[in-house]
Amino acid sequence: MCLLRCCLILFLACLAFARAQDMHFKPRDHALGDVHPFFHAGECFLYHLKPGKFEAALARSHDWLTWTETPLTHDEVKPGDWMAPYFVLGVWHDAEAQLFRSFHGHKEGRMVSSVSRDLLHWACAPKEFSVPPAGYYQRRRDPFVFWIPGMKQYGCVMTTWMKGRPKETCGAVSLATSPDLKQWKDHGPILDPGTIGEPECPQMFQIAGRWHLLASIYKRAVGQPVYWTSTSPLGPWKNEPDGVLDGKDLCAAQIAFDGDTPVLFGWIPLEPARPGKQKWGGHLALPREVHALPDGKLGTRLPAKLVQIFERLPWQKETGEGSRFAADFTLTLTSKTEEVRVSFAPLGEITFSHEQLRILDTAGECWSELPADLRPGRPMTVRVFVDGDMVEVFADDRHSLAARLPPKTGPPAFSSKAPAVTALRFAQWRLPEQAP
């Protein structure tokens, strides 16, 4: 019996060791779906949904690279309780009530609440803690509740399918406000272009004194993170987004604040995805720090915490063997530069131009792209991470781009004939604590 127990412990330890080396986390027995991060006591609680019934699940991390799956429990669900399989979405701490709260969708568009004292065990909140339905939509879901200091009220933004429209043009974001989480005033659709699918997982937050609305527009797939900017939660909100934070393979991305720092998390599809052919759920992308740029737009960059970890990797000038590695280099574009290509065998290549960043496969098909502002005449740092068939690029502390490419076999190699690329180096991926 003792020997059996020791063998089991050794097996689990080896399994944990192997999984901890993954650059991109995926739970042991399911793909990782829509993520809802929350920071508490120096730790990231990453609530997410499982494929199928969209049950709530949790993984926790201090370094945002190695994650521990943690069971979630809830009180017995009695007849008439408003409890869904996805009973934890966006989380915040209600200091006055000394509770953690989350809202989630229920029948007929009502947004209902669950509560917890420890972030692990949850219960139904009293039924008066709910956002009642209204009559202008066919469906409403994905609530995100936040505090509006200027109004001294809570806000709740929700994905909305407007009545009488096809899926391709039905999308809107609704807003309700409340002083106490019980009595809600419905403001209707604050964003309703009439030209988009459902804006999934909307959020509203402040960065640099301005309000931003983040969502992933459904285009026969979950979609990339886009944002709108306004001076007030009530708007006005322009029909067209003010910017894009990543490509189509950073799905249903959500922001949480680590202190004052906004950090963006999203998932990369389990297989190479095209509109209409996207598997729901996959691996967790590397987190991005979101920050305000001088022109008022938002940029993304690798968080300082991850930069410090990656700097401790065993860097060298050659890739060596393996399918999981990091590379970085300096890129200097000139005003005459049309495009710089950096290839990474055996998967494909990354192309850089003044106005666009793309990730292509070996046949030249683009699997992810992003409008970019890569200004000429100055050196820019570019970091690339390859993990099997997943690729992520961070350029100039302004742009990030994720993609999953058709898998290929062969030795990894980076190359570029362009003189714009200098100081190229590589590092095989290791556990952070093993890096020298």
Instruction: Write the pLDDT tens digit of every residue in 342-374.
Output: 999 899 999 999 999 999 999 999 999 999 999
Cβ pair 428, 23 in contact under 8 A? no
Least confident of 9-23, 67-81, 414-428: 9-23
Number of neighbouring beta carbons within 10 Å of residue 86: 24
Give a yes or no: residue 399 inside a domain: yes
Same domain, yes or no: 266 and 165: yes
Same domain, yes or no: 244 and 189: yes
Residue that finishes a domain, picked among 298, 330, 352: 298
Give a yes or no: residue 433 inside a domain: no
Residue 413 has pLDDT above 90, yes or no: no
Same domain, yes or no: 79 and 187: yes
User: What's 205's domain CATH number?
Assistant: 2.115.10.20
Residue that finishes a domain, picked among 255, 271, 298: 298
Give a yes or no: residue 260 inside a domain: yes
Query: Is the peptide bond between 346 and the residue preceding it cis, with omega within 30 degrees of 0?
Result: yes
Q: What would the pLDDT profile of 229-255 be if each residue is shown by its tens digit? A: 999 999 999 999 999 999 999 999 999
Residue 10 has pLDDT above 80, yes or no: no
pLDDT in the model for residue 14? 34
pLDDT in the model for residue 435? 41
pLDDT in the model for residue 3? 35
Cβ pair 103, 145 in contact under 8 A? yes
**Cα radius of gyration rounded to whole Å, the chain:** 22
Same domain, yes or no: 225 and 324: no
The 3-state DSSP composition of the chain as helix, strand, coil percent (nearest 5) reads 10, 45, 45
Same domain, yes or no: 363 and 289: no
Give a yes or no: residue 397 inside a domain: yes
Please work out, in degrees rounded to the nearest 5, the angle formed at the alpha carbon of residue 108 by the alpha carbons of 102 and 110: 30
Residue that finishes a domain, picked among 298, 322, 340: 298
pLDDT in the model for residue 321? 66
Question: Above pLDDT 90, what percent of the chain?
Answer: 85
Number of neighbouring beta carbons within 10 Å of residue 411: 11
Higher pLDDT, 280 or 12: 280
Q: What would the pLDDT profile of 100-135 be if each residue is shown by its tens digit? A: 999 999 988 999 999 999 999 999 999 999 999 999
Residue 206 has pLDDT above 60, yes or no: yes
Split into its structural domains, the chain has a count of: 2
Same domain, yes or no: 294 and 324: no
Cβ pair 262, 289 in contact under 8 A? yes
Token digits of residue 113: 């609440």
- Find the domain containing 114 and state its range: 22-298
Same domain, yes or no: 294 and 317: no
Token digits of residue 154: 């809570």
Give a yes or no: residue 93 inside a domain: yes
User: What's 339's domain CATH number?
Assistant: 2.60.120.560
Give a yes or no: residue 166 inside a domain: yes
**Could you tell me which residues are beta bridge partners of residue 430?**
none
Give a yes or no: residue 307 inside a domain: no
Same domain, yes or no: 288 and 320: no
Same domain, yes or no: 294 and 323: no
Residue 431's pLDDT band, with cuts at 50, 70 and 90, is low
Give a yes or no: residue 304 inside a domain: no
Residue 323 has pLDDT above 60, yes or no: yes
Same domain, yes or no: 156 and 93: yes
pLDDT in the model for residue 21? 53
Token digits of residue 267: 């998932």
pLDDT in the model for residue 432? 53
Cβ pair 59, 48 in contact under 8 A? yes
Q: CA 28, CA 399: separation in Å to the nearest integer?
A: 31
Q: What would the pLDDT profile of 146-204 be if each residue is shown by its tens digit? A: 999 999 999 999 999 999 999 999 999 999 999 999 999 999 999 999 999 999 999 99
Query: Is the peptide bond between 412 and the residue preceding it cis, with omega within 30 degrees of 0?
Result: no
pTM of the complete model: 0.93
- Residue in the structure block whose two tokens are 């974001």: 173
Same domain, yes or no: 139 and 255: yes
Same domain, yes or no: 294 and 157: yes
Q: Indicate the SS3 state at residue 11.
A: helix
